[in-house]
Structure 1
Amino acid sequence: MLDDKAPFNLPLESLRTFAAAADTGNFTRAAEQVHRTQAAVSMQMAKLENEVGCRLFERMGRGVALTFEGETLLKYARQILDLHDEALAAMTAPDMEGRVRLGAPEDYATCFLPGILAAFHAAYPRVLVEVFCGTSRSLAKRYARGEFDLAILNHPAPPEDAAAQVIHHEPIVWITSGEHGVHEQRPLPLAVFHEGCPYRRWAIEGCTERNIEHRICFVSPSLTGVLSAVRAGLAVAPVGRSTAGQGLRILGEQDGFPALPSTTVCLHQWVDRQHGIVNGLANFIMNRMG
């Protein structure tokens, strides 16, 4: 552990890289986020472990997972980085004003945006933020027409947009009500999003591969609708892990449910709009959701 007699500090660059590695579970993907080489990230993390005097990561195949000490440091790293970025924004452009239009899927708008928007408003109190929610499919079309300055979108595969910044990789999981046994029914009742949603396709393909007899009993374009059906004990559903809140149980291999893929969550920003308050909101989103 740390020697309290030796001078010591936690460099912001190291903490930012550490948070990226923790979120991605992979030094290569972390290197992409912080614009370094994989070798540089590995050296930086080895140096950080040496400085704090304990292991922060367990090496697992090609990936990494946090140790207990790593989990502890991550909580403080996030707070330090958030405060640093908010202070920097507040001091560099406190009087900036204007409008930013953001498109975001309902699940991320519900889970992440309240904290992001509160912090952004504290730094830029004179900026108007317009948030538009919908499915990633519909939001992508509107973004392509130039209706948004920024868009948070889910991608079942790496996006074609070279300017897209990867925020994180969201695991898709099966959820059921914690108070009902609907997941044991056959045919298995499913609550899914509308046709074209990759979550829906993955769930049906997974049931077919496992020979799980199933039927679609509830369809909704919104996360709220799908979760309502699950909480009522009417069905199980495939959703992003970050949206599996209280009262819900995640089903896994031990329950007879196949693992589902992950989506790549990206922040899209027009090249000609990479300035001022648009950049400011983009940085808050990357730092808070990443």
Structure 2
Amino acid sequence: MTLQLDPDLLRTFVTIVDAGGFTQAAKQVHRTQSAVSMQVRRLEETLDRVLFERDGRGVRLAPDGEALLGYARRLLKLHDEAVAALTRPDLFGLVRIGTPDDYVDRFLPEILARFARAFPRVQVEVNCEPSVNLRRMLAEDRLDLALITCRPGMETGEVLRREPVVWAAAERHLAYEAEPLPLALFQPGCAFREWAVASLNQIGKPYRIAYTSASISGILAAVTAGLAVTVLSRSVLPSGVRSLGSEEGLPLLPSATITLHRGSTVSAVAECLAGYIREGFSGETAPMPGHIAIPA
């Protein structure tokens, strides 16, 4: 009898990895934790392979789980695109999405291009604002979807991705050696700005905010010119900019969790785009499976 992989089981498996554990995954798939565990057991029985291993801190991906993860993502991507193309080809309307500026160039072009090919009659309106403003816009019903940055452990919404946050400076300049440290940061309300200032204050390192911009292009203009140091997600560092750390006398920064939030009423159009966003953010620079513990 030909072995069949249930997409529902694969989706739960991928959600556990992306959410960082069984408990958070259960909330996202709207099942109990025991039901999620049962789904994993069914998938393991189908494959006759162990997908997760328990350790002192919780569970982690087993080698066979690591091998399955890439295949599972591709299978679910094709499954969802086929369903969307065949069941909602005439979908139309407007989706209003909000995102911090630094995610736009790195993630959105491919997501929006794929969505537009499948649903050419849907209009997407993109608003670039700091996370604190996006929360307010959601509450005021001015957005349908929003990408919001959170500290790990303080997440709300659907977890899409976890990102290392790093200090960054031009490769051929030594702005980090200046006293006080010149900073190029996003405007007040940006989580990265708050984390940068708090971490420097904690170690007593002098600094000055030399440049402020609402756009990542404005920040990078100062950084690449060698005029300042900034704080960014590691995945958005462009060519010519490198990460800095303790060797340069800079403190450790929190990791960032990118979460997807929905407005008070979510249309079929918005929910469809949410699926494309989920897929687009599950890329290669998320934490590598098998190298981090996943709480049970």
Shorter-chain TM range is 0.7 to 0.9
* 1:164-175 map, 5 Å: 164-175=157-168
2:143 to 148, 166, 173: 148
Deviations 1:28-63 (A, max 9, x none): 222222223334444544554565566655656535
SS in 1 for 2:220: helix
Contact 2:134 2:148 in 1 (8 A): yes
Correspondence 1:224 to 2:217: yes
Distance 1:217 1:114, change over 3 A: same
2:227 to 234, 237, 244: 234
Deviates more, 1:31-40 or 1:91-100: 31-40
Deviates more, 1:252-261 or 1:54-63: 54-63
Partner of 2:287: none
**C-alpha separation in 1, matches of 2:207 and 2:15:** 38
Correspondence 1:214 to 2:207: yes
Contact 2:52 2:60 in 1 (8 A): yes
Contact 1:86 1:119 in 2 (8 A): no
2:269 to 251, 254, 277: 277
1:265 to 228, 235, 258: 258
Deviates more, 1:169-178 or 1:90-99: 169-178
SS in 1 for 2:258: strand
Distance 1:48 1:282, change over 3 A: same
Residue 223 of structure 2 aligns to which amino acid in structure 1? V
Correspondence 1:34 to 2:29: yes
Partner of 1:110: 105
SS in 1 for 2:138: helix
Distance 1:174 1:92, change over 3 A: same
Deviation at 1:92, TM superposition (A): 0.7
**C-alpha separation in 1, matches of 2:53 and 2:212:** 41
Gaps of 5+ in 2: 283-296
Partner of 1:3: none
2:89 to 81, 84, 94: 94
Identity rate of aligned residues, in percent?
Answer: 45
**C-alpha separation in 2, matches of 1:214 and 1:127:** 46
> Whose relative contact order is higher, 1 or 2, with alpha carbons under 8 Å and at least 6 apart?
2
**C-alpha separation in 2, matches of 1:22 and 1:212:** 37
Correspondence 1:77 to 2:81: no
Deviations 1:183-220 (A, max 9, x none): 34443222211223221121122122223232222211
**C-alpha separation in 2, matches of 1:187 and 1:208:** 12
Deviation at 1:284, TM superposition (A): 2.0
**C-alpha separation in 2, matches of 1:64 and 1:225:** 42
Contact 1:86 1:120 in 2 (8 A): no
Deviation at 1:223, TM superposition (A): 1.7
Correspondence 1:289 to 2:281: yes
1:8 to 3, 12, 26: 3
Deviates more, 1:171-180 or 1:45-54: 45-54
**C-alpha separation in 1, matches of 2:63 and 2:225:** 36
Residue 225 of structure 1 aligns to which amino acid in structure 2? G
Residue 189 of structure 1 aligns to which amino acid in structure 2? P
**C-alpha separation in 1, matches of 2:58 and 2:245:** 21
Deviation at 1:68, TM superposition (A): 6.2
Partner of 2:134: 139
Contact 2:18 2:160 in 1 (8 A): no
**C-alpha separation in 1, matches of 2:178 and 2:60:** 35
Distance 1:285 1:185, change over 3 A: same
Q: Give the number of aligned pairs.
A: 280
